Structure 1
Amino acid sequence: MNDKGTGNKNMNNCPLTYALNLIGGKWRLPIIWALSQNNTLRYNELKRKVDGITNMMLSQSLKEMENHGLVNRKQFMEIPPRVEYSLTEEGKDLIPALESLAKWGKGMKNKEMDRCNK
């Protein structure tokens, strides 16, 4: 950042900030993780896997992630209608980074617990 107030503009060009905007929010990571563990899920199956999510938030999050190219939506023209969700290749590419972040978080949590128990 510089002193001329253009820091926000520079942050919007940052690849890390861009990535975090794609996956940020309360529900996107749990949805991505559920899809990564199950390959393909129907809407209600996914809703059961993401504890506490409302229909509105699940629908909105899936639509946003579909628009960003992270989630596939496949609709089957049958009665009753069936829709399945899965990760795109771009969504799958995110999983190793999430696993690394989880490992880092676990280490940090253990260190904090060690500090609190001393």
Structure 2
Amino acid sequence: MGEHEELGGDVFAADCRARVAFEVLANRWDSVVVFVLGENGPMRPRALLDRIGGIGPKVLNDALRRLEYNGLVERRRYSEAPPRVDYTLTEAGFALLVPIRAMGTWAARYADTVLASQDRVAARRALPVD
């Protein structure tokens, strides 16, 4: 079996399972929610809002629904008065912490390089063309 056959197709082809991982990581808030749940354990939506900061309730709710749909978080309802809901990572969600942390390490090392490159290209594009 070739190195990429277990991914279900040619590398990065339309049917490649590796694309699933990139799609899951593509939304910045989804990765942040997974990271925060991984670092803090099960949390209620209000606690997630407070811990993350900069995210609105609707955006958080959308992220939690996407993550639940993708099998990365589990929504747990408690029969209490008033009703209580919290979210926890599934096994797949916990496993996603490895690449998320790797991306964080990459960002810590190369974010300044990327931002400097963006500034250089933007400055070049702003120059008038003769």
TM-score after normalising by structure 1: 0.78
Residues 1:63 and 2:68 are matched in the alignment: no
Q: Pick from 59, 84, 88: which aligns with 2:86?
A: 84
RMSD, matched Cα: 2.1
Identity %: 27
Determine the structure 2 residue equivalent to 1:5. Answer: none
Summarize deviations over 1:48-81 as a string: whole Å, max 9, x none.
Answer: 1121111111111101110110001100011011
How do 1:3-82 and structure 2 match up within 5 A? 11-82=13-84
Alignment: residue pair count: 105
> Whose Rg is larger?
2
Determine the structure 2 residue equivalent to 1:6. Answer: none
* Cα distance change, pair 85–109 in 1 and its aligned pair in 2 (3 A): same
Large movers: runs of 4+ above 3 Å:
none
Alignment partners' CA distance in 2, 1:53 and 1:105: 21
Q: Unaligned 5+ residue runs, structure 1?
A: 1-9
Alignment partners' CA distance in 1, 2:52 and 2:14: 30
Determine the structure 2 residue equivalent to 1:7. Answer: none
Alpha-carbon offset, residue 17 of structure 1: 2.0
Alignment partners' CA distance in 2, 1:61 and 1:100: 21
For 1:41, what is the secondary structure of its paired residue? Answer: coil
For 1:86, what is the secondary structure of its paired residue? Answer: strand
* Cα distance change, pair 26–109 in 1 and its aligned pair in 2 (3 A): closer
What one-letter code is carried by the residue in structure 1 that aligns with 2:51?
A: K
Alignment partners' CA distance in 1, 2:93 and 2:75: 13
Summarize deviations over 1:6-29 as a string: whole Å, max 9, x none.
Answer: xxxx64322332211123213111
TM-score after normalising by structure 2: 0.72
Summarize deviations over 1:80-117 as a string: whole Å, max 9, x none.
Answer: 1100111100000011111122212222236x39x99x
What one-letter code is carried by the residue in structure 2 that aligns with 1:49?
A: R
Q: Larger relative CO (CA 8 A, sep 6+): 1 or 2? A: 1
